[in-house]
Amino acid sequence: MADTNTPPICDYEQSPYRTAFWEGQGRDYEDQSERVALRRLLPPRGRRLLEVGAGFGRLTNEFDGYDQVILLDYSTSLLAEARQHLGTSDRYRYVAADIYRSPIADGCCDAATMIRVIHHMADAPAALQQVRAALAPGAAFVLEFANKRNVKAMLRYLLRRQDWSPYDLTPVEFVELNFDFHPRYIAHALEDTDFDTQRRLALSYLRVDLLKRIIPTRWLVAIDSILQWSGQIAPFSPSVFTQNIAAGSGPAGALDGPIFKCPACRSTALDIQDDRIRCQQCLNQYVIRDGIYDFKIPIA
C-alpha cells in the first residue's frame, strides 16, 4: 500500500528524457552554462558526492574528482541509461529511491547536487531536509531552482498575461508537479534546513530560441558566464544556482560508515547480498537488480 503521507512523485520511468529533451534538442547552451556554474560552486574534489535526481547521468562526469558518486533517482530506467554510459565501477552507486524517504545514511557524504530537480517537488523543504541529513557538517550542496521572479514572468504579469504574481513568495505550480520558486522562499527553506548559503548565480538569461539560432553556442555561454554573477545581487533569470554549506553537527565518523539506511526505520544495520538488501531491524527487503539498488518499495 502506498504511503499516503508521502507527497506525490514526478515519475520519469520509461521516459525518453535524454533524447526528447537534451540530446539533439538545441539545449547545448543550457547544458554548458550549467557546467560553468557547477565548476564555480562545487569543490573539485571530495570523498563521496550525492547526486539527487541524477537521471541518465548528464552531469556526472563533472564529479570526476570525487572518490565515489551516488546517483539517486526515482526512475530505474534512467539509472539504467546512466549505468550503461558510466559503467559498473564501484565508484558509482546507482540508487532508485523516493527522496522523501531517502535510503542514504546520515552524514555519509561530503558534497551533494540537486540540479533541475526541486521544481518537481511538491514539498521542497522536506526534500531539502533529506539532503541535509545525508551530508556531513561543512559539506557543500549545489542547488538549482526554477525562479518565478524572472524577467519573462515579470513582463507577463505587468501586461496581465498571467494571473500569478512573480513577487509572491508562495511557489507556483504552473503545470502538475512543476513548480517555480521565489528566491526568498528557497533562501528561507535552506536556512530552516540548516544550510548556510554562500553564493547565488543567475543562469539562462539567454534562453530564447531566436538567440540560440543566430548566436554561436560558445558566445552565448561566454556571455552567460558573465551574467551569472548578477545572482549575487538579485537574480531575475529563469534558473538560479546556489552554493550552500551544511551547518551544525552530524554523526562522528559517518564518512567512514555505511552509505545506506533503511528508508522505513532508518537503521543502518543492513545485510547486503548480491540481489537484495535486508534490514536487520524491521526485516524489510529491497531488491538489487542489474546493479541498481531499488529502495522504492520493499519486496515480499
- Kindly state whether residues 141 and 125 are assigned to the same domain: yes
Same domain, 167 and 272: no
Is 101 part of a structural domain of the chain?
yes
Neighbours of 10 (CB within 10 A): 16
300 vs 287: CA distance, rounded Å? 10
Assess whether 277 and 167 both reside in one domain: no
At residue 211, the 3 state secondary structure works out as helix
Q: Is residue 85 part of a domain?
A: yes
What domain count does the chain have?
Answer: 2
Q: 10 Å Cβ neighbour count for 270?
A: 20
The answer on 281 and 176 residing in a single domain is: no
φ and ψ of 157, to 5 deg: -65, -40
Closest residue by Cα to residue 152 from 91, 217, 236: 236
- Residue 49 CA: distances (Å) to CA of 62, 72, 200, 204, 291: 11, 11, 20, 25, 18
Task: Kindly state whether residue 14 falls inside one of the protein's structural domains.
Answer: no
In a shared domain, residues 283 and 232 = no
| Domain identity same for 142 and 60 | yes
The closest of 236, 157, 233, 238 to 200, measured between CA atoms, is 233
* Cβ atoms < 10 Å from Cβ of 222: 13
Domain identity same for 204 and 250:
yes
Domain annotation covers residue 229: yes
| Domain, as residue range, for 280 | 267-295
- How is residue 96 written as a grid cell? 532508485
In degrees to the nearest 10, what's the CA dihedral of 7, 12, 18, 21? Answer: -70
User: Is 5 within the bounds of a domain?
Assistant: no
Together in a domain, 223 and 284: no
The answer to whether residues 61 and 207 belong to one domain is: yes
Q: Is 186 found in the same domain as 82? A: yes
Q: Is residue 59 part of a domain?
A: yes
Residue 29 lies in a domain: yes
User: CA 241 to CA 134: how far, in whole Å?
Assistant: 20
pLDDT at 5: 75
User: What is the per-residue pLDDT for 165?
Assistant: 98
Per-residue pLDDT of the chain (300 residues; tens, 9 = 90+): 345 578 999 999 999 999 999 999 999 999 999 999 999 999 999 999 999 999 999 999 999 999 999 999 999 999 999 999 999 999 999 999 999 999 999 999 999 999 999 999 999 999 999 999 999 999 999 999 999 999 999 999 999 999 999 999 999 999 999 999 999 999 999 999 999 999 999 999 999 999 999 999 999 999 999 999 999 999 999 999 999 999 987 776 789 999 999 999 999 999 999 999 999 999 999 999 999 999 999 996
Please give the backbone phi and psi of residue 224, each rounded to the nearest 5 degrees, phi first.
Answer: -60, -40
Q: Residue 248: helix, strand or coil by DSSP?
A: coil
Buried b (16+ CB within 10 A) or exposed e, 224-239: bbebbeebeeebbbbb
pTM as predicted = 0.96
Q: Are residues 181 and 276 in the same domain?
A: no
Cell of 299: 519486496
- Cβ contact 23:85 at 8 Å: no
Confirm whether 1 is domain-assigned: no
User: Is residue 29 domain-shared with residue 167, that is, in the same domain?
Assistant: yes
Cβ neighbours of residue 109 closer than 8 Å, sequence gap 6 or more: 48, 49, 50, 70, 134, 135, 136, 139, 255
Euclidean distance between the first and final Cα of the chain, in Å? 12
What pLDDT does 2 receive? 42
